[in-house]
Amino acid sequence: MGPPGAGKGTQGELLASGLGIPRFSTGDILRAAREAETELGRHAQRYMDAGDLVPDEVILGLIAEALSEPEAKAGILFDGFPRTVAQAEGLRDLLVSRGESLDTVVNLSVPADELVRRIAGRAYVEGRTDDTPETIRRRLEVYRESTEPVLAWYRAAESQVLDIDGVGTVEEIQAAIRSGLGR
């Protein structure tokens, strides 16, 4: 977990490949669906372009499918999920029904001014249509309103939350995550 621009995608890819498990990024899946103009993509587009969250039922449907994939048998890394308390509750219920459990929530923290700098810089590089100044502001606001409470929910549930300082080199941050996970 972490706000937009915290480096979830970069760190998530390294971590998943290092652990030999798939990474499932809800943002990547939604962007691919939007480009392919599938029904999911068309439905998600207006939320994404406004910087708002795609409805929980849609996201939980994707997560249920991901958990059922044979590749996820040895574990799966979710990136950009859960983003609301309802999604965290939905994940808990899915895992319980499958006899599985959550290992660790990795939380990347980065100061707000640094986030805005990073996202503004990547807009040109990656061509993300949701990286406009208004959308960035909205995504940060949504993060504070809807996603920060998810961290509080996990802490209250005594799930293992690994807090990582997201400022540093990619390698330093990855090393901190791996050492925090003890793997």
Q: Which residues are catalytic?
A: 8, 83, 122, 128, 139
Task: Say how far residue 60 (Cα) sits from the centre of its chain.
Answer: 13
| Binds ligand ADP (CB under 6 A): choice among 1, 4, 67, 108 | 4
- The binding track of 45-64 with respect to ligand ADP, each residue x by CB under 6 A or -, is --xx--xxxx----x-----
Show the DSSP H helices in the chain as ranges: 8-19, 26-35, 39-50, 56-68, 85-98, 112-126, 133-142, 148-156, 170-181
Per CB under 6 A, the segment of 43-51, 97-105, 106-114, 165-173 that binds ligand ADP is 43-51
The rounded distance, in Å, linking the Cα atoms of 37 and 31 is: 10
Q: How far is the CB of 152 from ligand ADP (least distance, A)?
A: 17
CA 107, 108, 111, 114 dihedral sign is negative
The rounded distance, in Å, linking the Cα atoms of 123 and 171 is: 23
Between the alpha carbon of residue 110 and those of residues 46, 52, 115, the distances in Å are: 27, 21, 7
- The binding track of 58-97 with respect to ligand ADP, each residue x by CB under 6 A or -, is -x--------------------xx-x---x----------
- The binding track of 143-182 with respect to ligand ADP, each residue x by CB under 6 A or -, is ----------------------------------------
Collapse the DSSP code of 77 into the 3-class scheme (helix H, G, I; strand E, B; otherwise coil) and give the result. strand
Q: How far is the CB of 147 from ligand ADP (least distance, A)?
A: 9
Q: Which residues pair with 79 in a beta bridge?
A: 25
Per CB under 6 A, the segment of 24-32, 104-112, 150-158, 159-167 that binds ligand ADP is 24-32
- Residues of this chain that bind ligand ADP (CB under 6 A): 4, 26-27, 30, 47-48, 51-54, 59, 80-81, 83, 87, 130, 139
